Amino acid sequence: MKSAILVFPGINRERDMARALRLASGHEPAMVWHAETSLPKGTDLVVVPGGFSYGDYLRCGAIAARAPVMDAVRAFAAGGGLVLGVCNGFQILCEAGLLPGVLMRNARLKFICHDVHLRVERSDTPFTRGYNAGQVIRVPIAHGEGNYEADEETLKRLEGEGRVLYRYCSADGAVDERSNINGAAQSIAGIVNESGNVLGMMPHPENHVEDIMGCTDGCGLFAGLVAHLERAA
């Protein structure tokens, strides 16, 4: 799996992401600067990492979404290429129009930084095939603007088309108000686009991939991507 990680000024999770991708695939990811106008040849996966691109000025992800490299990412996604956006990366993909909706201020206004539980809604996608449907995983979150919102029509479509892949839940998998940490519509933690090749999620699976991190529940996402691409090759 050849992956490319986008780097914007203010991004700070690109090395965590590179480590997770290297562990899962055995290949060193390429770091792609925001001013580039193309992606490295043979890229299988584009990752938009977390952080605070452009200091979150204007709106989270708004300025990064208009960077030159995003045209290349749009073309890559339109051709069916896999794109993963985590945290600020999710916000950037929404602002870029690659995913519907918007990440608003957390309902209780606080920056939240701790582990959460996620329910994997289905396992038949490139982004979830390393898990079982209904499986509960534990991964960290660290964000102030992760409250996913979209108009009613969009939410209906997301649910109807099975495009919600990850949802905030309790340790035993119950999706309820208490476990909906940031107030997101329908406890949404991660969604895919219409053709299923672009995933945006607020939690950080790349930070739970080694025993030393205290948990390895994030491995399934990366292992699943590697398996998907090996099968496709």
Partner 1 sequence: MKARVTVTLKSGILDPQGKAIEGALKSLGVDGVASVRQGKVFDIEIAGSDKAKAEAALKDAADKLLANTVIENYRVEVLS
Give least dist CB 213 to partner 1, A: 31
Stretch that binds partner 1, among 15-23, 39-47, 55-63, 168-176 (CB under 8 A): 55-63
Query: Which residues 63-82 are close enough to bind partner 1 by CB under 8 A?
Result: 63, 66
Enter the DSSP assignment of 19. Answer: H
Report CA dihedral (17, 19, 20, 21) to the nearest 10 degrees.
Answer: 80
- The burial class, CB within 10 Å (0-12 / 13-18 / 19+), for 58 is exposed
**Residue 104 within binding range of partner 1, rule CB under 8 A:** yes
Give least dist CB 160 to partner 1, A: 19
**Residue 102 within binding range of partner 1, rule CB under 8 A:** yes
Kindly write out the interface string for residues 14-43 of this chain, putting x where it contacts partner 1 by CB under 8 A and - elsewhere.
Answer: ------------------------------
- The burial class, CB within 10 Å (0-12 / 13-18 / 19+), for 123 is middle
The single residue listed with the structure tokens 């995933």 is: 199
113 is catalytic: no
Give least dist CB 97 to partner 1, A: 10
